[in-house]
A = this chain, B = another copy of it.
Amino acid sequence: MPRPSRPLLSVDLIVDTALRAVDTAGDFTMPGIAAALKVRPSSLYNHVGGRGEIVELLRERAMSAVLVEPSAEVEWTSTVAAIARSYRDAYAAHPRLIPLLTAHTVRSHTAVAMYESLAHAFRRGGMTSQQALDAITTLDAFVLGSALDLAAPQEVWSIEATTDRDFAEVLAHANTPDRADRAFDAGLGVLIAGWSQLAAGS
């Protein structure tokens, strides 16, 4: 049955299906998407350029959840914190997607808007433009690294792995379900404290 009166596929449908596969299985394949949509693999190429394009669409899909409010009213550190959390939550919603995205850099409209907003906040805090660039880069690395942590298996560290007393005591805190969330909040707090100090002292 070639060419039905109403199209069976759409870009959104394909991306939906790919994202569902990534969330449940950690990866997606063209035949897999086709099967889920009851279609032949070659049909997909009428709507997307190929596997790489689907990955980019998945990246945009994830990034589109980032909220970038240009609230100039509040303290600049609050703006930075809010963006960082939203950015991180967008990734956290699809942890298994992240390893697929690490080959390329972010380039979406949302990403640009986010960086602009961060630039404003850091400049408002008194940073030089060089310092603001470094801060944005650091925040980006921290968020991406933290998100990758979410994709890691549950029990990251077993206490038996070490004979070191200090480290064993540290590890006692490591296997709680909110480990990654706690660590992210703590790390963000440290960064913002450091940036405040930097901005104030320059």
Chain A residues close to B by CB (< 8 Å): 26, 98-99, 102-105, 112, 115-116, 119-120, 123, 129-138, 140-146, 148-149, 151-153, 156, 161-162, 164, 166-167, 169-174, 179-180, 182-184, 186-187, 189-195, 197-198
Contacts and interface: CB of A to CB of B under 8 A. Distances in A.
Nearest to A166: B119
B116 A166 contact: yes
Contact of A194 (B131, B161, B172, B194): B194
A135 B195 CA distance: 16
A174 B133 contact: yes
A186 B134 contact: yes
A183 B134 contact: yes
A29 to B, nearest CB: 16
A116 B191 contact: no
A156 to B, nearest CB: 6
A170 B133 contact: yes
**Lowest 3 CB-CB distances: which A-B pairs, in order?**
A141-B145, A138-B187, A145-B145
Contact of A137 (B104, B136, B167, B187): B187
B148 A116 contact: no
A119 B164 contact: yes
Contacts of A151: 102-103
A133 B167 CA distance: 9
A169 B115 CA distance: 12
Contact of A133 (B116, B140, B173): B173
B153 A149 contact: no
A162 B102 CA distance: 23
B142 A141 contact: yes
Interface centre among A138, A156, A192 (most CB of B within 10 A): A138
A149 B140 contact: yes
A144 B148 contact: yes
A129 B194 CA distance: 21
